[in-house]
């Protein structure tokens, strides 16, 4: 494809569906939206018409309000047939939160990737009353602000179960290369990685629809984070690999139905941007590491905006992801500070004066 042929990013609908309502974005495909109690204040969910039942893609968080909103949708735009199947794009609580409710209360089945299933089931079962020493060590190694660390150490930690309905056993696996039928269409299954492991994306063979979850979003870059569960993970490499692979499937006709923000076209352009955003961030970060810094001191080159309380945690895990990536690809070193924080710094060549490599 020639440069610039990726298409302009356009949003066919300027506004999202209102509470309790749905917008039919294509024949038999309904777009609905649920509120979230966090900085990113909404999630998109979709219902696919399977004839005698619905397949619902992603479900929002579990709360009393969420149950009431779903009941309103079930009595409104979804009335007349049951939800037979939940298709879960990835394990994050804003997507999996109500899946167990549909299984327990509505008799729905669950279809997702094996990793999304295992992560969901594990994290919903894993209730911790106190912050673990592993989490504290991880935050210390990231150079978390002392005030925030003290508060987190004292507070009850966040648990998936706080905003996710219990998830019963039993699911149907979707894997790379599968073809699934839903909403009167056949869909190719392509796995994404980086934002969440083994993240489903579904590409219609019969028209231009792509169900993208959080793997491909317009106007915001999906969070790429490292957590105490795997402190040395390099999800950014997984992310870049996914972007490169999925970009080859993209065309200008695609209508992308993502987990947040608005449906859009111009997918080849968006795939290029998603890749370039991180390449740019890595370049700025590398320049910033001309002296040793902790992950908590790397927000300025990465985000180019103020990081306040509501997004501090997300910013920190994303900073660690970028630092792990530079480290594991041999571009920076790290040493332990006395308080346990990693100090990251750019490799300097032994021959030739320092800093000469900055243009």
Q: Which residues form the interface with Zn ion (CB under 5 A)?
A: 92, 214
Output the six-digit token pair for 152: 């987190």
**Shortest distance, position 160 Cβ to Zn ion, whole Å:** 13
**Shortest distance, position 92 Cβ to Zn ion, whole Å:** 4
**Shortest distance, position 197 Cβ to Zn ion, whole Å:** 11
What CA–CA distance (Å, rounded) separates 186 from 59? Answer: 22
94 versus 234: smaller Cβ distance to Zn ion? 94
- Structural contact between residues 167 and 124, judged by C-beta atoms closer than 8 angstroms: yes
**Shortest distance, position 210 Cβ to Zn ion, whole Å:** 16
17 versus 225: smaller Cβ distance to Zn ion? 225
**Shortest distance, position 75 Cβ to Zn ion, whole Å:** 28
What CA–CA distance (Å, rounded) separates 25 from 263? Answer: 9
92 versus 325: smaller Cβ distance to Zn ion? 92
25 versus 40: smaller Cβ distance to Zn ion? 40
Query: Which one-letter DSSP state was computed for residue 265?
Result: B
- Structural contact between residues 13 and 261, judged by C-beta atoms closer than 8 angstroms: no
What CA–CA distance (Å, rounded) separates 109 from 179? Answer: 18
Question: Per DSSP, which regions of the chain are E strands?
Answer: 23-26, 29-35, 42-49, 54-57, 83-87, 109-112, 172-173, 179-182, 185-192, 199-204, 209-213, 255-258, 332-336, 342-346
183 versus 222: smaller Cβ distance to Zn ion? 222
């Amino acid at each position: 494809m020639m440069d610039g042929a990726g298409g302009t990013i356009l949003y066919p609908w300027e506004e999202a569906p209102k509470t309790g309502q749905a917008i039919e974005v294509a024949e038999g495909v309904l777009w609905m939206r649920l509120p979230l109690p966090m900085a990113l204040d909404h999630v998109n969910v979709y219902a696919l018409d399977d004839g005698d039942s619905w397949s619902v893609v992603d479900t929002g968080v579990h709360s009393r309000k969420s149950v009431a909103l779903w009941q309103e949708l079930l009595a409104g735009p979804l009335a007349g047939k049951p939800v037979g199947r939940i298709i879960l794009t990835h394990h994050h609580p804003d997507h999996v939160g109500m899946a167990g409710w549909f299984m327990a209360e509505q008799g729905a089945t669950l279809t997702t990737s094996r990793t999304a299933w295992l992560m969901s089931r594990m994290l919903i079962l894993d209730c911790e009353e106190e912050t673990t020493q592993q989490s504290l060590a991880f935050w210390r190694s990231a150079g978390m602000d002392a005030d925030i660390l003290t508060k987190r150490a004292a507070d009850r930690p966040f648990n998936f179960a706080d905003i996710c309905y219990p998830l019963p056993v039993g699911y149907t696996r979707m894997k790379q290369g599968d073809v699934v039928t839903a909403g009167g269409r056949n869909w190719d299954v392509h796995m994404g990685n980086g934002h969440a492991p083994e993240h489903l994306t579904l590409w219609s063979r019969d028209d231009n629809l792509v169900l993208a979850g959080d793997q491909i979003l317009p106007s915001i870059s999906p969070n790429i984070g490292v957590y105490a569960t795997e402190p040395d993970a390099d999800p950014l490499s997984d992310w870049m690999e996914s972007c490169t692979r999925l970009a080859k499937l993209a065309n200008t006709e695609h209508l992308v139905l993502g987990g947040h923000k608005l449906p859009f076209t111009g997918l080849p352009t968006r795939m290029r941007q998603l890749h370039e955003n991180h390449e740019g961030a890595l370049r700025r970060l590398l320049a910033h590491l001309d002296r040793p810094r902790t992950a908590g001191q790397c927000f300025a080159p990465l985000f180019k905006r103020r990081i306040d309380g509501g997004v501090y945690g997300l910013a920190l895990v994303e900073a660690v992801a970028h630092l792990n990536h530079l480290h594991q690809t041999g571009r920076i070193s790290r040493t332990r500070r006395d308080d346990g924080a990693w100090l990251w710094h750019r490799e300097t060549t032994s021959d030739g004066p320092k800093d000469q490599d900055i243009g």
